[in-house]
Structure 1
Amino acid sequence: MTKISSELNRRQFLCHVGIGAGVGLLATQGITRALASSNMAKNSDAQLTKDDLPTAFPDEHLSFKGEAQPAQAGCIVPTIETRLFASSNVGGSNERNELALERLACAGFKVDNPATTERQYLRFAGTDSQRASDLQNIATGAIKAPKLLLGVRGGYGAVRILPMVDWSTLGRIMKEHGTILAGFSDVTAIQCALLAKGGMSSLAAPMLYSEFGKNRPDEVSCRQFVAALTNPNLTINIDDASLTSPNLPSILTSTEPKTLTGTIWGGNLSVVSALAGSDYLPRIAGGMVFLEDVGEQAYRIERMLYDLYLAGVFKGQQAIVFGALSGSSEDSYDKRYDVATVIRQLHQLTGLPIYSGMRFGHIGQKHSFPLGATCQLHPNNAGGYQLMFSDYPTIKADAILVEGLWQ
């Protein structure tokens, strides 16, 4: 991959790759510093959704506030065919979307439909038909399948468009082109439908507005996003259960932990439970269910887990894997009724081994990983475990400049 000279300034680069003049102007004004005091923060605060809530990890980059910003590296010519899909909430700030688009271009992603970020209907990123068309136009062949389909943001709304997409055809076309669909939070509905009806994997990963448009994107999350995009044999090690609950072991099992192999699927618990009983929830024999959520009290988490249990979702599964259950508060009736109590009850109900602490969810420093792909779970001698993924599409590593995602 040929790199653009470090002497080529940001505005020249944006003109070179065809990003709009508005973004170029922001870049020449020192966009990262300018946006810190702009109306972007006011707009985003006024439209908080689950993908905007405070993370379980503090943003260590905030310590740079008021200090000189580090020198920016060069960009590379974007060659990765990328399209956005906006299935849920509208973005709260045009400047934030423009900054995210600039960073993607700098990192090597050629976004073909940036105008998608400008749509709005009520609270949504366009009408139901417009939002469905982001995916349905690929299924019909009206638009060529890209290498990456990146979600704009979460929130709510994806469930409304599920009946409007030919998931079977979309999944087949994505397999033929090696297309990667990436997102999380409300995008879980899209990922479940794609797997259930199209037999196609996706990537649990950060999104345009909710990560790459931040004033200071989380460098760890960006690096792990690229690792999941480029590594055909991704491995993630989990040492403790603290992201799920500090009162749990990493592996909760009634027998000796053993290596398991199967398809990992799931996503946001609120969304997965809402799909229970529908044709859009995957039915994976011998699978492993992954679940995460944010801002839910323990009793609400248990109620959603019972929704899945009573619908028979856990039958035939090998294990349940929990990511971050962040922002959960104490029960006003009895503070002993916590997430750990809920998960122990789930273990008794299902008899399944439960793996906790997976580094993904509504948190910083998240580890992207494939959903709908083959996963091996290996317990280690220290009480933790390792996840090894295979059988999912990837992108060549030399096509991406990871540093461009947070510049």
Structure 2
Amino acid sequence: MTKKIVSKLNRRQFLHHMGVGVSASLLASQSMPNAVANDGLLTVDSLSALTKDELPTALSGSESLFGQVAQRVECIKPTIETRLFASSNVGSRDARNQLALQRVACAGLQVQNPEIVSRQYLRFAGTDSQRASDLQNIATGAISAPKLLLGVRGGYGASRLLPMVDWATLGRLMQERGTILTGFSDVTAIQCALLAKGNMSSLAGPMLYSEFGKTTPDRISCQQFVEALTNPKLTIEVDNAELTSPKLPAVLATNDSRSTTGTIWGGNLSVVSALTGSEYLPRIDGGIVFLEDVGEQTYRIERMLYELYLAGVFKNQQAIVFGAFSGAGEDSYDKRYDVATVVRQLHKLTGLPIYSGMRFGHIAQKASFPLGTTCEIQPNNSGGYQLRFSDYPTIEASALHVEGLWA
């Protein structure tokens, strides 16, 4: 995707428009490779330091955290009003945070609260009150709703905030402004609460620290992120079920030619199942449930799916879409007991059509897409399917410069 560059800025002008701290100035005044290396990002971010929200991407070869730093590109003046929300884990490397802030500004996002990336309380990105305030201050009117609410990272902690936010008011204000909230992994809890109590959509997509702070951001994920932000008629093609299980067909249904239209909702399976029985789990009649996860053994995947099934979550749903189930591994009791077996059992239990292989989850080269909005699933003649999305807020394409995200 080629974006129009609104205005080229020199380094000093760019930093002025960014409004971020001294660390970002260091990054801009040195070469990026030297600044990153000086902070130890190329050596300190070892596998032992990775959390669940970034592990598979770090193990995916050329898309790893340890790849070569991308070349410098021209930046545009950031004009898209953006606020960060840090609902979960702390982003522990300051230079990585600052590098991510510089990149999103280069791409056109005017971040209004960059200081929150330095918060920490225990493992979290601040106390519960601090993290909840990122969203609650918008609900109370203390802060105007921005155009974009960008998650910092996943991990754990978002569920602790759910009773502390006025989701109904937040959703109403976001609808009035056309605000887009984006994230995934543990941010699923925020997205589910926003839909369940605020009737507001969100975007399943990459986050500040997790993606844009990498030594080498995944360009395809960045491109797909901007595509989802700017295209009001987003479509995604799925050819096979490889990301869910290579032993499955892409479409598992009694009538594999029937199209389905409904509100798509869900996210990370571990988080969705943890909300079972709460007021924060959406109750969508005629919905389409999307689920993905990472690093969960097969029996745990099935147990969480059974938890949803036994709670009646799949009743009145039209279909289930599975994204990536990366790092599931083999069952130590019987290797035949795999993800494909689990999915087939769920199809037998629910009778719902199941679409597998959606390119989203804890993987590289993911396709961002809106949650809580209208989705049409249309099987094709080659065994795959297409997802078409509508009725969600977008951003003017000319205000974004995708190459900035990997500058």
Q: Which residue of 2 aligns with 1:22?
A: 23
Q: Partners of 2:120 and 2:65 in 1: how far apart?
A: 35
Q: Tell me the equivalent position of 2:389.
A: 389
**1:253-280: CA deviation from partner (whole Å, max 9, x where unpaired):** 1234301100000000000000001000
- Indicate the residue corresponding to 1:173 in structure 2: 173
Alpha-carbon distance in structure 2 between the residues aligned to 1:118 and 1:204: 24
User: Deviation at 1:10?
Assistant: 3.4
Kindly provide the CA deviation profile for residues 231-253 of structure 1, in whole angstroms up to 9, marking residues without a partner as x: 00000000000000000000011
The CA deviation at 1:36 is 4.5
Measured in 1, the distance between the counterparts of 2:33 and 2:215 equals: 6
How far does the alpha carbon of each residue in 1:172-227 deviate from its partner, in whole angstroms, 9 at most, with x for none?
00000000000000000000000000000000000000000000000000000000
In the other structure, the counterpart of 1:80 is 80
Residue 54 in structure 1 maps to residue 72 in structure 2? no
> 1:291, CA displacement in angstroms?
0.1
Where in structure 2 are the equivalents of 1:27-46 lying within 5 Å?
A: 27-36=28-37, 38-40=39-41, 41-43=43-45, 45-46=47-48
- 3-state DSSP class of the match of 2:116? helix
- Deviation, 1:11, is 4.6
Aligned partners of 2:17 and 2:78 also within 8 Å: no
Give the letter aligned to residue 149 of structure 2.
L
Paired residue for 1:320? 320
Aligned AA (1:307): E
Q: Secondary structure at the match of 1:150?
A: strand
Offset at residue 306 of structure 1 (A): 0.4
Q: Give the 3-state SS of the residue equivalent to 1:306 in structure 2.
A: helix
Q: Secondary structure at the match of 2:375?
A: strand
In the TM superposition, 1:280-295 aligns within 5 A as: 280-295=280-295
Q: Unpaired runs of 5+ in structure 2?
A: none
Q: How many residues align?
A: 403
Indicate conservation of the 8 Å contact 1:44/1:92, yes or no. no
Secondary structure in 2 matching 1:188: helix
Structure 1 pair 44–150 and aligned structure 2 pair: CA distance change class (3 A): farther
1:22 Cα shift? 1.9
Asked whether the equivalents of residues 59 and 364 of structure 1 are also in contact (C-alpha less than 8 Å), the reply is no
Question: What secondary structure, in the 3-state scheme, does the structure 2 residue paired with 1:42 have?
Answer: coil
Bigger CA drift: 22-31 or 394-403?
22-31
Question: Is the CA contact (8 Å cut-off) linking 1:197 and 1:280 kept in structure 2?
Answer: yes
Fraction of identical pairs, as percent: 71
Q: Gapped runs of 5+ residues in structure 1?
A: none
Q: In structure 2, the residue corresponding to 1:149 is in which secondary structure?
A: strand
Cα distance change on mapping 1:126 and 1:56 into 2, 3 Å: closer
Aligned to 2:6: 3
Q: 1:64 to 1:90 in 2, by over 3 A?
A: closer
Q: Deviations over 1:299-323 (max 9, x none)?
A: 0000000000000000000000000
Q: Which amino acid aligns with 1:268?
A: N
Q: How does 1:233-382 map to 2 (within 5 A)?
A: 233-382=233-382
Secondary structure in 1 aligned to 2:304? helix
Query: Is contact 1:359–1:367 with CA below 8 Å preserved after alignment?
Result: yes
RMSD of the TM alignment (CA)?
1.8
Shift, 1:73, TM fit: 2.3
* Deviation at residue 16 of structure 1 after TM alignment: 4.2
- Post-superposition offset of 1:15: 3.0
SS of structure 2 residue aligned to 1:55: helix
CA deviations on 1:59-113 (whole Å, 9 max, x unpaired) are 43569957xx665221111000000000000012011110000001100000000
Q: CA 1:33–1:323 in 2, change beyond 3 Å: closer, same or farther?
A: farther
Query: Which amino acid letter does the alignment assign opposite residue 28 of structure 1?
Result: S
1:16-64 deviations in Å (ceiling 9; x for gaps):
4333232111222222354256433525645422112123983435699
> What's the secondary structure of 1:378's corresponding residue?
strand
1:129-278 correspondence to structure 2 within 5 Å: 129-278=129-278
Distance 1:63 1:202, change over 3 A: closer
Q: 1:34 to 1:17 in 2, by over 3 A?
A: closer
TM (norm. structure 2) is 0.95
> Are the aligned partners of 1:15 and 1:24 in contact in 2 as well (CA < 8 Å)?
no
Q: 1:346 aligns to what SS in structure 2?
A: helix
Q: Which amino acid aligns with 2:313?
A: V
Q: Give the secondary-structure state (helix, strand or coil) at the position aligned to 1:76.
A: coil
TM-score normalised according to structure 1 size: 0.95
Contact 2:58 2:64 in 1 (8 A): no
CA distance in 2, matches of 1:202, 1:370: 6
Q: 1:37 and 1:262, CA in 2 relative to 1: closer, same or farther beyond 3 A?
A: same
**Letter matched to residue 116 of structure 2:** T
Letter in 1 for 2:57: T
User: Does structure 2 retain, via aligned residues, the 8 Å contact 1:221–1:364?
Assistant: yes
